Every structure is written in structure tokens, then in C-alpha cells.
Amino acid sequence: MVGQRFLEALADRGVTETARVVVLCEEPRPAYDRVRLTAYFSEGAGPEDLSLTDAEFMDRHGIELHLGEPATGIDRDTRTVTTRGGLSFRYDTLVLATGSYPFVPPVPGRDSEGCFVYRTIEDLLAIEAYAERARTGVVVGGGLLGLEAAGALRGLGIGTRVVEFHPRLMALQVDDGGGAVLRRKIEAMDIAVHTGVAGEKILADESGAVRAMALSDGSEIPADMVVFSAGVRPRDELARACGLEVGERGGVAVDASCRTSDPRVFAVGECAEAADGVVYGLVAPGYEMAETAADALSRRSGRDFTGADTSTKLKLLGVDVASFGDPHGAAEDSLDVVYSDSRAGVYRKLVIAPDGTLLGGVLVGDAEAYGTLRPLTGSVPPVPPEALVLPAGAGAGAPALGPAALPDDAVVCNCHNVAKGAVRAAVTDHGCTDLPAVKKCTRAGTGCGSCVKVLGQLVDAELEASGVAVDKGLCGCFAHTRAELYEIVRTLRITSFAALLDGHGREAARSGDGCEVCKPAVASILASLAPSIGADGHVLDGEQAALQDTNDHVLANLQRNGSYSIVPRVPGGEITPEKLIVIGEVARDFGLYTKITGGQRIDLFGARVDQLPQVWARLVEAGFESGHAYGKALRTVKSCVGQTWCRYGVQDSVRMAIDLELRYRGLRAPHKLKSAVSGCARECAEARGKDFGVIATAEGWNLYVGGNGGATPRHADLLAQDLDDAGLIRLIDRFLMFYIRTADRLERTSTWLERLEGGLDHVREVVVEDSLGLCDELEALMAAHVAGYRDEWAETLNDPERLRRFVSFVNAPGAPDPSVRFVAEREQVKPDLTLLSGPDIPVRTLEGTPA
């Protein structure tokens, strides 16, 4: 990662235009995001998703990249580097960015089959392959990488234990209090934690494969595989071999310009010992070293690297962990301000000097304040310390502290060393008018992303200070947000878009018809509130039909060749043989393509719009109903087979999945909703990647919320645990209605939860503790939805007026669309893509105009 940043810095300074740049890479792939390695397991990210560069960048700047060709020797006299493949390169300047290697403790048996390290994509591929025959795993190391590795094993369905020599997890980042909260949260995920002990020996079976690990306390724990993640060591062997000076504890010694003892050789990143005697194992200091070396090489009057901020903000196994400044109070006479709530799993500690200067801190379970607190380190905050750690509203009389309170020299983006003043200048001096423009101008927020929320607040504040109005309205038709419009509709019982626009739209829009933003958003609000406000609610009736997006117009998903898909609901993935036969017969009779989806149902593709009622008539007669794949509504509640069939299951996950899917079917929301129920902690239904997910425990159910397996994957957070059936459904009712009430248009629960002030804690206060007194109302709204549910397709088939819209051409109702054609592939049909390779074929709406 640091090597790639160095190349980008060279390109930015024009060095690549005049110099030959050669890169020798040990791994078989270009630079990738090693910080996000676990996303390979937790988010389904492939190697290409983790990549930090591409061939176009290398070609554009004339950089020669040799993959799988590591340097094996340096001759400083002839200024030559040789590689494993026998290649030889002369250099004028040499840069070492060799990083680090995993430290494997000298434990007897560490070479047994089933022992791995956790460092590269190849390591992950090997772990994934071996995990198919493993049931239990041990991770040696309870630091950042160790917990990442534990999360990876858990995600593979393996019973996981963590062994850490120190008395607490993440000993470098958190203190005893934070470590205790972190441990409780990790153990709540069915990961066993052993601290204060070391692995004494790895025990193997007759074939040489791992079977157990003996610990230093005399105990023995079962293990089918062991992952070592006990820290890293600098890759300085090349420097040692060619006589460069190295640090006492390893690392190529460099000065403030990142030059080694040979002025023609630089070293950056984890392989280097900085001028302050520290080897920095974080990416942000490495990036700063890369910029420093590029400045020196391009003869700029650049920066010096004499040390770096080691603050970190992480999400480990879904738990927020952050530390900044001096988290352990090493300074003499330092004072601690601590807030701890073990029930909620929140721990916050600030280290304060006697004069009130903020020296550092630790945040576990809720790191929302990190973006503001870290830049304040080294200064006296403008509010009392206790106001910085107490929950919102607990510090009576204390003024709110936000990013606007930061001084201009406060670094808000640690990855790229961007200060608040640079962000303000991007708005005032460079004309940036939104967050994407500021990110492009300053590079702030393009690293780890932990500062993006603070950046957005700073940009809005600066725009407002410059006299630029920051319009938070839904669109040009409404000055209200979606949440405000929801409240207006609910309170005033408004049942039509026209009435809402006339009474509450912007003055200039009141005589209009709305726009493509507000019409579907208001349609969703009206549909979700229909049973409570006395509206009909069917999406194809009257004015409501005109508000819908393309798919909702015909209750089906439009495909690329102008045909449509049909997705009947299969609650929980459970289906009878008779219904399977009906789906097969319908697909055969109408020539449809069939596919079993990841959401445990069967999709039928290739129907013309005029065929949709005919297909659905057959399906409805067989007992199927709409799966709402076309709407911003509940899609599926996926399940494993649970206790009924699986030997690991502890609850009936199929029954619960069916109950939930039938309860929330047809529920319209700001965005689509997905759910899953897993019958045990092995998590086969992938519940933590869903908007609301349920995982069985021996005592009941754990409820997770805010997950997303889509374009921006996010692990769901634990909202409540060990719930009985009634308590689980009650909390889901409240959570969903609170989300529908307060979310923005097209906002998934994952982004809503991260945007919401107070985040998960606030949601817990509202839906579990009823802090706003809303729970009865939320439950009543859901009860009205459940009581008023009607299958949209069944009702459509019984209404001749609604059926009139299912034609390809309004002026030739019986004529099929000639542009919808298919060819055969693998004994099924697929769109004839040759029709799509020429001029665009317009898709026609009911009015006959191009869509």
C-alpha cells in the first residue's frame, strides 16, 4: 500500500515523466488494500475489489511492474538489484517498501498441517480452502489482526477461540476498561477468549494435521486449524545483507527525509525505523513517509518525517474501537475522565492534563466522537471533559461540540494529513460546493473513510458561513426532508400526492406534477401509511399509479431486453413439491428462464408485459403471491434449515423466517429490506449482512440491525439478545417503523444507522427503552400494516381497469413487442444481445413515449 502511494506521489510531482520507474513485487498481484483483507470474508470482496491500482495507472505513467519477481539482492557498489528470476536492474535511486512479515511464535508444532498466517490474499485463499474440513479454529493473537482473523474464521462457520498473551485484547490500543468491554462484546458473538496465556504447543494427529493446542496454564483447547496473527516484523533482510544500517529491534534506519545510511537508498512504511526510533505499523504514517520520500527525490522543499499520529478507528467484528493521542495516560500527573456502561457495551475514556489539555482517549462500542476528539488532542477543548464522554443529553447545560469547534490546524483526515483549514479552503478558495468535490480537491476522506462524516459537516458549515444555502429539502418540489414529509402525511392524514404538494410543496412547485425524486418517495410514504391514514394504498390505483417507478408500474422487474421477471414469494425458502411443479409448468408453458436466487426463491425471466397477468393468474391460483422484487419493500427472509434438521441448530429458524416474512410482506420502505434467520452461531443464513437479521441462541434469539451485503457492505449491529418470540417480533416492528419514519429517500438501514445521530445507541434507546415514548405508536402502525395487507397481484387480476396497463403498445393492445427476442443457451432462453449491440432500442411506457 505504501509503495503504491509512493508511485502516486512520484506521478503527482512529475517524476514519472522524466525517470524510468521499475517496481519489483513479490506477490502475484499489484498493490491492494491490506487493511480491508477481512472484507474478503465479511463482505464478499474479491481481489479486484481490494485493488489499489490498475494497469491503466502503470501504463499512463510509464511504470514497469514486475509481479512475482521479488528482489533477492542489492549491490550498492554497482547500484544493482537482482531478482529471484535472475533479472538485474541498475538504479540511481532505490526505494525499499518491503513492508513486514507475520511473526510466528516459536511454538512446537507450528509447522503442522492446518497452521496459517494472516497477511496476504494468498493466505486468505489457503485459509478458506482448509476451512471446508475444519470445525474449530484458534487464532494466536488478540490484537487488531488477530481479531480480524477471528472474524474471518467465524464468518466461515468455524467455532473460534482467541489466545492472547497480554491480560487484555488489543493491549496497544485500549486500556483495561476498554479491553473488558471489548471482550464481553467479542464473547457475545460466541468467540471464546483466552487472555494472559500463551500457546505452549500445537498437537497434531497421526497424519500431521492440527488437532489441539496446549496453553501455558496447562489447559488444552481443540483446534482443527490455527491462525497466527501475533504481530509483524519489518522486512529488512535485503538492507541487512547489503550493509545498510538497521535499528536495534529491526527496521531500516532512515532520517527525516526517509533516506537510509546510503543517500541513494530510501525506505518507507513498515520496513523502516523512523528518525524517532519507531517502526510504524499503520498505513497513515506509511503514506506520510511515501510523500516525504517523494518530496526528497523530486528535490522539493518538502516535509520531514520525524514521527506520526498512531490514532486508529476500527470496526472489529462489528464493534467500534478507537484510540488517539496518549490512550494509557503515560504523561505525568495526567487525569482520566471515564464513562462506562457495561450493559450497553460502551466505554469512553479521555486522558486530560492538569491544565485541561486533551492528551488522548479510548472509545469502545461507540466511536462516534472520534472524528471530533482526535483533532482536539493537544488543545484545551471548549467544553468540559465530561461533556465529551457522557451520552447525548446527560451533560445538562454543556454546549454541543461539533467539527466547527476544531481549530484550522486540526488534522481531520489522518490518512492524508489534511487539516480543517484545507477543507475550508477547498470551499472558499477552490469553489468546491459539495463533499465529493472537496474529497477530490484535498484527498481527504479517500483513505480509511473514518473522517467522512466530519468532512460532510465541515463542508456544510463552511458553505453556510459563506452565505451559500445548504438545501436539505427532499427535492426542488419540497423544502422538507423525507422524514418531515412522513410526519406531515401521518399527522394530517393526507392521502394524495396532489394534496401534499398543494399544501406543503415549495411555492413554485405547487402548480406542477412533482419530479422523479419526490413522486416515488411520496408514493412509498403513502403506501407505508395507507392502513393508518385511511388510504386505499394499491400502487396501481388512480394518482398512486402515476407516482411509481418503472418496475412498480407493472409489478415486475424490467430486464435489459425489455422483458420482465416474475418473482413469487417463497417464505423462508420453504416450498412444497406441488408448488415447485407449478413454477416449472408455468416456466415451460411461457418459455421463461428460471433461476434459483441467493434469497431462496425462484425467479422467472423473459415475460413480455402482456404475459404478466397470464403468468400471475396461474401462480395466484396455485397459492403464490407477489414477492415484491420490484418494490422498495421487504424482499426475503432467508433461513437455514435450523433445529428441525441441522445437528447444530438450537432454534426453529425456518418457522421464524416464515413468520417474519409473512408479517412484513408488502411493507413499503425508503429502500428494499432484506432479512435472514440463522438457527445457530454458524450463521449459514448470513443474517448479519441483512437489514434486520436474527441468530438463534440457546436462550432465544439475537436481533441484529443495519446490515448490508450490497454495494457498500456492512455487518449488522447487535440490538438485543436472548429474546423470546414475542419480544423479538415486537422489537423488529418498532425498528422497522422507526426506520421508515426517519430515513431519507433511497436510504438503506445501514447508511441510515450510521447517519443517525447517536447511531445504534439512539436506536436502542428509542425502540428498546422507549425513550421518546413512541413504541406504542410504532407497534400500532405495524399492526395496521399487518391487518391491512393485500396481495397486489391477486387484487390486480380481479380489476379490469388495472389490467388495461399490461400491453406493449396502447394503440395495438394485442400485439407483442417485436424487440423482445431470445436465443437458446444451456437448455434455456437468454436475451438476444445482438439486438442490444446496435443503436439503442427505446423501452416504451404505457403512453408510448421513450422511457
Top CATH class, 311-401: alpha beta
Q: Which residue carries 408453458 as its cell?
A: 589
What digits encode the pLDDT tens for the residues 349-378? 999 999 989 999 999 888 878 877 888 888
pLDDT digits (tens, 9 = 90+) for 457-511: 888 888 877 777 677 788 888 988 898 999 999 989 998 898 999 999 988 888 7
Q: What does the pLDDT read at residue 42?
A: 65
Cα–Cα distance between 760 and 766 in angstroms, integer? 10
274-286 pLDDT, tens per residue?
988 889 888 888 9
C-alpha to C-alpha distance for 500 and 493, rounded to whole angstroms:
10
- 251: enclosing H helix or E strand: none
d(CA 218, CA 207): 25
Same-fold call for 404-468 versus 633-790: no
Q: What is the pLDDT of residues 191-247, one digit of tens each?
A: 999 999 999 999 999 999 999 999 999 999 999 999 999 888 999 999 999 999 999
Residue 311 to residue 309: CA distance in whole angstroms: 6
User: Region 163-182: what's the mean pLDDT?
Assistant: 89
Q: What is the pLDDT of residues 647-684, one digit of tens each?
A: 889 999 999 999 999 999 999 999 999 999 999 988 99
Cα–Cα distance, 783 to 595 (Å, whole number): 34
Grid-cell match 415451460, residue found: 588
Q: What is the pLDDT of residue 450?
A: 67
Question: Grid coordinates representing 825?
Answer: 443457451
Q: What amino acid occupies position 813?
A: P
- Grid coordinates standing for 396? 445538562
pLDDT digits (tens, 9 = 90+) for 725-781: 999 999 999 999 999 999 998 899 998 998 888 889 999 999 999 999 999 999 999
Answer for the pair 481, 744: CB distance below 8 angstroms, yes or no.
yes
In b/e form, how buried is each residue of 178-188, taking b as 16+ CB within 10 angstroms?
bbbbbbbbbeb
Distance between CA 312 and CA 633 in Å, rounded?
37
Q: Taking all residues of the chain, what is their mean pLDDT, rounded to a whole number? A: 87
In this predicted structure, the answer to whether residue 53 has a pLDDT above a threshold of 90 is: no
Does pLDDT of 82 surpass 90?
A: yes
- Helix or strand run (H / E) with residue 273: strand 272-273
Over the stretch 802-842, which tens digit does the pLDDT of each residue have? 888 888 776 666 677 777 888 888 888 888 765 444 434 33
What was the pLDDT predicted at 845? 34
Question: How far apart are the C-alpha atoms of 638 and 636, rounded to whole Å?
Answer: 6
Q: If you ran DSSP here, which 8-state letter would residue 744 be given?
A: P
pLDDT per residue over 625-649, tens digit each?
A: 999 998 899 999 999 999 988 888 9
Q: Among candidates 590, 624, 626, 585, which has minimal Cα distance to 605?
A: 590
Give how far the C-alpha of residue 346 lies from the chain's centroid of Cα atoms, to the nearest Å: 21
149 or 317, which is more confident? 149
Q: Which fold has domain 404-468?
A: Arc Repressor Mutant, subunit A (1.10.10)
Q: Does domain 633-790 have CATH number 3.30.413.10?
A: yes
DSSP secondary structure, 25-54, as one string: ESSSS--B-GGGTTHHHHS---HHHHBS--
Take residue 22 and report the three cell numbers written for it: 521499475
CATH class of the domain defined by 549-631+810-851: alpha beta
Task: State which amino acid sits at residue 274.
Answer: A
When mean pLDDT is compared across 25-29, 332-336, 447-451, the lowest value belongs to 447-451
Q: Which pLDDT score is estimated for 850?
A: 32
pLDDT score for 816: 75
* pLDDT the model gives residue 301: 65
CATH class for the region spanning 104-230? alpha beta
Domain boundaries, the chain: 2-101+234-297, 104-230, 311-401, 404-468, 482-547, 549-631+810-851, 633-790
Q: How confident is the model at residue 849 (pLDDT cuts 50, 70, 90)?
A: very low
The CA distance from 147 to 195, in Å, is 13
Check: CB of residue 330 under 8 Å from CB of residue 465. Answer: no
10 Å CB burial of residue 294 (0-12, 13-18, 19+) is buried
Going through 80-230 in order, the beta strands assigned E by DSSP cover: 80-83, 88-90, 94-96, 100-102, 115-117, 136-140, 159-164, 191-195, 199-204, 210-215, 220-222, 225-228
Q: pLDDT value at position 843?
A: 36
**pLDDT tens for each residue of 697-737:** 989 999 999 998 876 678 899 999 999 999 999 999 999 99
Is the pLDDT score of 851 beyond 60?
no
Contact between 704 and 719 under an 8 Å Cβ cutoff? The reply is: yes
Q: What is the pLDDT of residue 193?
A: 94
Residues 6+ apart with CB under 8 A from 702: 694, 695, 696, 718, 720, 721, 722, 723
> Is the CATH number 3.90.650.10 carried by domain 2-101+234-297?
no
CA–CA gap between residue 702 and residue 99 (Å, rounded): 41
At 834 the pLDDT is 59
Which residues, in sequence order, are CB contacts of 585 under 8 Å at separation 6+?
Answer: 618
What's the pLDDT at 1? 93
C-alpha span between 433 and 468 (Å, rounded): 9
How do the residues of the chain divide into helix, strand and coil, expressed in percent and rounded to 5?
A: 35, 20, 45
Out of 114-118, 409-413, 493-497, 765-769, pick the least confident: 409-413
Query: In sequence order, which residues have a C-beta less than 8 Å from that of residue 291 and are 6 or more positions away?
Result: 5, 9, 302, 303, 417
Which pLDDT value is given to residue 36?
79
pTM listed for this prediction: 0.56
d(CA 139, CA 149): 7
Distance CA 199, CA 112 (A): 14
pLDDT greater at residue 780 or residue 43: 780
Residue 396 has pLDDT above 50, yes or no: no
Cell 424487440 -> residue: 819
Dihedral of CA 550/555/559/564: which sign? negative
Average pLDDT for residues 413-420, to the nearest whole number?
Answer: 80
* Distance, CA of 667 to CA of 785 (rounded, Å): 7
- Report the pLDDT averaged over residues 67-84: 96
Q: What distance lies between CA 44 and its chain's CA centroid? A: 11
CA distance 174 to 311: 11
Angle subtended by helix axes 420-428 and 435-442, to nearest 10: 120
